[in-house]
Structure 1
Amino acid sequence: MLSARSLFEEIIDNDETYQLFCSVAASGEAQGGWENGRIAALLPESMRHLAPKVARHGADEDKHGRIFHGLLRRRGLSAVEVPPETDYTMLLERAGIGLAHDKLKREEPLDEADIITYLAHSRVTEQRASDQMDMLRRHFAGHPEVGNAVRIISGDEDNHLAYCHEELLRLADEGHGPTIRRILHDCARSENRVYRDVSLAVMAHMGRVLGWSRPKAAVLAGAIHASYAYERTHGWRRMVTLTMPARRDALGGPATPEPEFA
């Protein structure tokens, strides 16, 4: 019977698919670390109070990248080039999600509208990350090879999501609510499409390596399309609502160190 657990077990039990999985994850986390680091450096004067939290967010993402590289080293593997069609962060940028890298590479301060955009986009993408890591934590928190990494990263992603909720609600109280709602809705629609396309591409690569039968590959592709259809009609709401988190000031301290194996 196909399940998320059985599929992931197939992926981590095979060196080649495990290598691709960790490489894709490490690349995305490193990109997120760079983006947050640049945003922290370019914050407008009126929002400099966010600098420690944005920097902490970036430090967490960098840490996650090192964790995935550490998982590869433990198995005697190295990172491989990420196929462009599986590069979630690159495809998000092409879809207009997040701040353009050309802007982040300059030394010109960002403005408040840029930071609102950054936080709203992060609220959507961090929901995705939190959901994915929650699924992995439910099934693999006790796994001898990846369990520790899953628990650490999942906790961090929950913190990132809480931070986005809290800061966006504060900005909404300052009168930015309509702008935030518009950006959240636009971003959720675009992110859903990107996530569908990346999921299909990743499953196609995994299937070729693992020798999945045509019916099995078709069932998995159908499930991805069905999930996308659900998100377009109903699931998107979880990505655009704002609720004050139980965990307040979630990024108020320094990043926790990665485990020793990384």
Structure 2
Amino acid sequence: MLSAKSLFREILDNDESFRLFCSIAASGESQGGWENARIAALVPPSERGFARKIARHGADEDKHGRIFNALMKKRGLEPVGVPPDTDYTMLLERHGIGLAHEKLRSDRPLTVRDIVTYLAHSRVTEQRASEQMRLLRKHFADHPDVGRAVKMISRDEDDHLAYCHEELLRFAYAGHGRAIQRTLRECALAEIRVYRDVSLAVMAHMGRVLGWPRPKAVALAAGIHAVYAYERAAGWRRMVSLRMPERRDALGGPATVAPEFA
């Protein structure tokens, strides 16, 4: 019987699939770190006080990338190139979601609208990241190799999601509510398509590495399509709601370090 736990365990127990999984994850986290660092450097003068939280977000993402690389190093593995069809971050950019890298590479200050776009994009993607890490924490919190990393990253992703809720509500109260809701909906609908495509690509690559029989590969693909159908019908709405988080100012302090990994 296929289950999330058995699937992840199979991936974690094989060096080649584990290396591919960690390489994809490390690349995405490192890219997120760069994006947040650039946004922090380009915030408009009216939001300079907000820059430290954006920088903290980026520092956390960089830390996660180092953790995934350290997990590979611990098993004597080297990172592999990330297949383009599994590059979640770049595929989102190609769909026009978030801030274009061309804009982030320039030295022109961002606008408040750009910051709202960044936060809406982050609120949607951090929802996905928080859910994925909670699933891994549920099944692998006590795993001897990845348990400690899973718990640390999961806590950070929950903080990132809380930060997005709080800051978007701040901008909504300042008069940007309609723009926020419109951008959230656009981001959510695009993200679920990209997530489906990336999930299919990752499972196809894992299937080749692990030698999955065709019936298993077909069943997994069908499951991914079923999740997309649910998200397209109604599930995307969880990504666009806003509520004040229980933990306020989640990114108000300095980034936590991970000396045992980095």
Provide the TM-score with structure 2 as the length reference: 0.99
CA distance in 2, matches of 1:134, 1:238: 16
Question: Aligned residue for 2:149?
Answer: 149
CA distance in 2, matches of 1:163, 1:261: 25
CA contact (8 A) 1:74 1:261 kept: no
Question: Aligned residue for 1:88?
Answer: 88
Question: Aligned residue for 2:52?
Answer: 52
Question: Aligned residue for 1:35?
Answer: 35
Write out aligned runs for 1:112-261 (5 A): 112-261=112-261
CA contact (8 A) 1:23 1:79 kept: yes
Q: How far does residue 259 in structure 1 lie from its aligned partner after superposition?
A: 4.2
Cα RMSD for the two superposed structures: 0.6
User: Per-residue CA shift, 1:146-176, capped at 9, x if unaligned?
Assistant: 0000000000000000000000001111111
Q: Which residue type is aligned with residue 223 of structure 2?
A: A
CA contact (8 A) 1:36 1:58 kept: yes
CA distance in 2, matches of 1:161, 1:258: 20
CA distance in 2, matches of 1:25, 1:73: 14
CA distance in 1, matches of 2:175, 2:43: 20
Q: Tell me whether 24-33 or 250-259 shows the greater mean CA deviation.
A: 250-259
User: Per-residue CA shift, 1:174-233, capped at 9, x if unaligned?
Assistant: 111000000000000000000000000000000111111111100000000000000001
CA contact (8 A) 1:166 1:248 kept: yes
CA contact (8 A) 2:19 2:78 kept: yes
CA distance in 1, matches of 2:128, 2:237: 12
In structure 1, the gaps of 5 or more residues are none
Question: Aligned residue for 1:105?
Answer: 105
In structure 2, the gaps of 5 or more residues are none
CA distance in 2, matches of 1:259, 1:235: 38
Structure 1 stretches of 4+ moved >3 Å: none
Q: Which residue type is aligned with residue 28 of structure 2?
A: G
Question: Aligned residue for 2:19?
Answer: 19
CA distance in 1, matches of 2:139, 2:96: 33
Q: How far does residue 234 in structure 1 lie from its aligned partner after superposition?
A: 1.2
CA contact (8 A) 1:188 1:239 kept: yes
CA contact (8 A) 2:40 2:55 kept: yes
CA distance in 2, matches of 1:62, 1:71: 14
CA distance in 2, matches of 1:132, 1:7: 14
CA contact (8 A) 1:30 1:65 kept: yes
CA contact (8 A) 1:67 1:259 kept: no
Q: How far does residue 49 in structure 1 lie from its aligned partner after superposition?
A: 1.2
CA distance in 2, matches of 1:261, 1:231: 35
Q: How far does residue 97 in structure 1 lie from its aligned partner after superposition?
A: 1.0
Q: Which residue type is aligned with residue 20 of structure 1?
A: L
CA distance in 1, matches of 2:122, 2:154: 16
CA contact (8 A) 2:66 2:261 kept: no
CA distance in 2, matches of 1:192, 1:3: 21
CA distance in 2, matches of 1:177, 1:107: 28
Q: Which residue type is aligned with residue 257 of structure 1?
A: V
CA distance in 2, matches of 1:97, 1:131: 20
CA contact (8 A) 1:42 1:109 kept: yes
CA distance in 2, matches of 1:159, 1:89: 20
Q: Which residue type is aligned with residue 238 of structure 1?
A: R
Q: How far does residue 261 in structure 1 lie from its aligned partner after superposition?
A: 3.2
Secondary structure of 1:212's aligned partner = coil
Give the number of equivalent residue pairs. Answer: 262
